[in-house]
């Protein structure tokens, strides 16, 4: 299959989002400098299902906020509009991922957690954006699985038969790999380069034209979370390190141990948190009906 053909196929994707109308409206509002987070929050909160999904995500421990965020406008203030917009656009993809590939979901959550922690260690501004980039970095894999199931099965078989990394198998079967596919998709979402570049370059961050250090953080977060054996990225192996990128962010042994401790602690929280939020959203549903 030629990349152009894949691109054509993916144009009519079923499971993946075209941009929800609400995001178009929010984008217009953001253009106006006078729009406040409160006003944006109000618009989002007209959609209860979206609001509950969004609050669940922003309260996930991978962002690491110690206090519960209970309103959308608060979430916008704390996380920034770009993060909120990304979570809205991708929420349907994550539902597909949660239902059909729990291992990849855990890998994504883990990578988000690691990326945020590593970004903070390097004093990168708005680490929540880097977490969000980590969360969506493997989005291309779920696109392949959902939209090109025959090719996806061929890829899985190749991984097994030849013992090669999933990305190599993708290149063999499709001629492109998941990060390129993801970049086609998210280029339509009007997201800032800080979020798009780490997704597109998470396997070869030194090739990024800007935000190399952020791409490098996502790259290393992916490596670290696979090394720790959290979740399932499609094959069991730690990917190759981009040494030029590593030079930009280099973590010492002591730093890495601190990072691992924080990741392992948060991973335990992630699950407890899911339970807590389940109770919360059940309670919320019953009050909203009255």
Helix pair angle (253-288, 48-58), 10° resolution: 150
How far is CA 147 from its chain centroid? 19
**230, 268 in Cβ contact below 8 A?**
no
Residue-level length of the chain: 290
Q: How many CB atoms lie within 10 A of CB 71?
A: 16
Residues 152-171 touching another protein, rule: CB under 8 A, are 165
Member of 274, 283, 285, 288 binding another protein (CB under 8 A): 274
Nearer to another protein (CB atom), residue 104 or residue 130: 104
**Shortest distance, CB of residue 283 to another protein, whole angstroms?**
13
Site string for another protein, 83-122 (x = CB under 8 A): ---------------x--xxx-xx----------------
- Measured distance CA(163)–CA(186) in Å, rounded: 30
Residues 177-206 touching another protein, rule: CB under 8 A, are none
**Shortest distance, CB of residue 180 to another protein, whole angstroms?**
21
**Shortest distance, CB of residue 96 to another protein, whole angstroms?**
11
- Measured distance CA(21)–CA(223) in Å, rounded: 36
The answer to whether residue 13 forms part of the interface with another protein (CB under 8 A) is no
- Measured distance CA(202)–CA(52) in Å, rounded: 30
Helix pair angle (212-227, 253-288), 10° resolution: 90
Residues 212-231 touching another protein, rule: CB under 8 A, are 223-224, 226-231
Nearer to another protein (CB atom), residue 33 or residue 275: 275
Total interface residues for another protein by CB under 8 A: 40
Of 122, 103, 107, 43, nearest to 76 by C-alpha is 43
**Shortest distance, CB of residue 188 to another protein, whole angstroms?**
26
Nearer to another protein (CB atom), residue 193 or residue 274: 274
What region does 47 belong to: left with phi over 0, alpha with psi -120 to 50, or beta? beta
**Interface residues toward another protein, by CB under 8 A:** 98, 101-103, 105-106, 165, 223-224, 226-232, 236-241, 243, 246, 253, 256-257, 260-261, 264, 267-268, 271-272, 274-279
């Amino acid at each position: 299959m030629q990349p152009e053909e894949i691109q054509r196929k993916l144009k009519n994707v079923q499971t993946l989002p075209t941009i929800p109308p609400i995001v178009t409206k929010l984008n217009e509002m953001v253009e106006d400098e006078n729009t406040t987070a409160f006003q944006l929050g109000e618009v989002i909160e007209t959609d209860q299902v979206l609001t509950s999904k969004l609050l669940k995500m922003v309260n996930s421990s991978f962002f690491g906020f110690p206090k519960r965020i209970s309103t959308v406008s608060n979430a916008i203030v704390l996380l920034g509009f770009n993060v909120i917009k990304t979570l809205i656009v991708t929420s349907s993809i994550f539902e597909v991922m949660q239902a059909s590939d729990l291992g990849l979901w855990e890998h994504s959550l883990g990578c988000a957690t690691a990326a945020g922690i590593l970004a903070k260690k390097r004093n990168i501004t708005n680490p929540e954006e880097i977490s969000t980039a980590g969360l969506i970095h493997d989005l291309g894999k779920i696109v392949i699985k959902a939209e090109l199931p025959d090719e996806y099965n061929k890829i899985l078989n190749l991984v097994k038969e030849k013992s090669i990394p999933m990305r190599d198998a993708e290149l063999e079967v499709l001629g492109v790999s998941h990060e390129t596919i993801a970049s086609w998709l998210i280029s339509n979402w009007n997201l800032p380069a800080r979020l798009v570049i780490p997704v597109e370059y998470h396997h070869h961050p030194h090739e990024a034209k800007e935000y190399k250090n952020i791409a490098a953080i996502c790259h290393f977060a992916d490596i670290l979370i696979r090394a720790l054996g959290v979740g399932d990225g499609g094959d069991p192996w730690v990917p190759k390190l981009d040494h030029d990128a590593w030079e930009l962010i280099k973590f010492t042994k002591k730093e890495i141990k601190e990072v691992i401790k924080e990741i392992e602690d948060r991973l335990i929280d992630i699950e407890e948190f899911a339970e807590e939020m389940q109770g919360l959203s059940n309670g919320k549903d019953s009050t909203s009906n009255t």
